[in-house]
Amino acid sequence: MPTELTHESTLRELATDQGVLRYHEAGDGPPLLMLHGSGPGVTGWRNFRGNLARFAEHFRCLVLEFPGFGVSDPTDEHPMAAASGAVVRFLDGLGLEQVDVIGNSMGGIVGTQTALAHPERVRRLVTIGGIGRNIFSPGPGEGIKLLMEFTDDPTREGLIRWLHSMVFNPKVVTEELIEERWQQATDPDTLAAARRMYSTAAMTANFKAQARSPEPPYWAMLHKLRAETLITWGRDDRVSPVDMALIPMRTIPNVQVNIFPNCGHWVMIEQKAAWESAVLAFLTRKDQA
């Protein structure tokens, strides 16, 4: 297969009863579902385009675009709620009974929630930052506060401040990255969906709702997770500080943790080669007898 996979050559569409889900597909082999994070201008393609060729050598890679981020058709639901439903609709639509999952940040939470609700459908789970909850560090973290500021008042300068909080190496934040994120983040529909998640008003309401809810948060249910799990994290993450990994590390029954140095929130980008090697070793390991 070609080592250079383009946006156009990999883009696919799946019609569902709640609109079209768009995704990128590459490679042959066991199905590997890749779930993107949140934030201004995010897409699944932008999260995983640099990793796709390597994983496509071993898997049928499926990079799902969540509703509410400007690629798949939006729904009336909160984007976080829509994402979990979209995963199940996507798997059903493609006739996939079981997959491995890689989830970045919000995608890791969605993947974890899917594995908890439908344990038979997720064999192995890889998360990139994001899951768990702060233990020693204050919350929300620096990157989330900058995300809220941008969502309330979307300026190019605010976007650049947020992008720099996502990485350890500032050279990752190129003019090309800034421009493509700016174009996507300021699309009216995408910005409206972002404000349902990350505006100050939405975040405040969400914190209050969580405090009143009789339902336990997903991180309190991790002891029920049956999927073999690999947690990957950047040591220098300023969005979801690495102490968030402590509860998942202690409570998920079958879990290992890889922490990468000199690395922020985007481990799959900043520590690309090391991260890919660790994840492929985990996903391709033979099942223990």
Helix H or strand E encompassing 4: none
Candidate list 24, 36, 118, 265, residue with the active-site label: 265
Specify whether 265 is catalytic. Answer: yes
Spatial distance between the Cα atoms of 123 and 91, rounded to a whole number of angstroms? 13
Q: What is the DSSP letter of 67?
A: B
Spatial distance between the Cα atoms of 31 and 214, rounded to a whole number of angstroms? 36
129, exposed or middle or buried, with CB in 10 Å at 0-12, 13-18, 19+? Answer: buried
- C-alpha of 149 from chain center: 21
CB-based burial, 45-55: b 16+ in 10 Å, e otherwise: bbbbbebbbbb
Which residues are marked as active site? 265
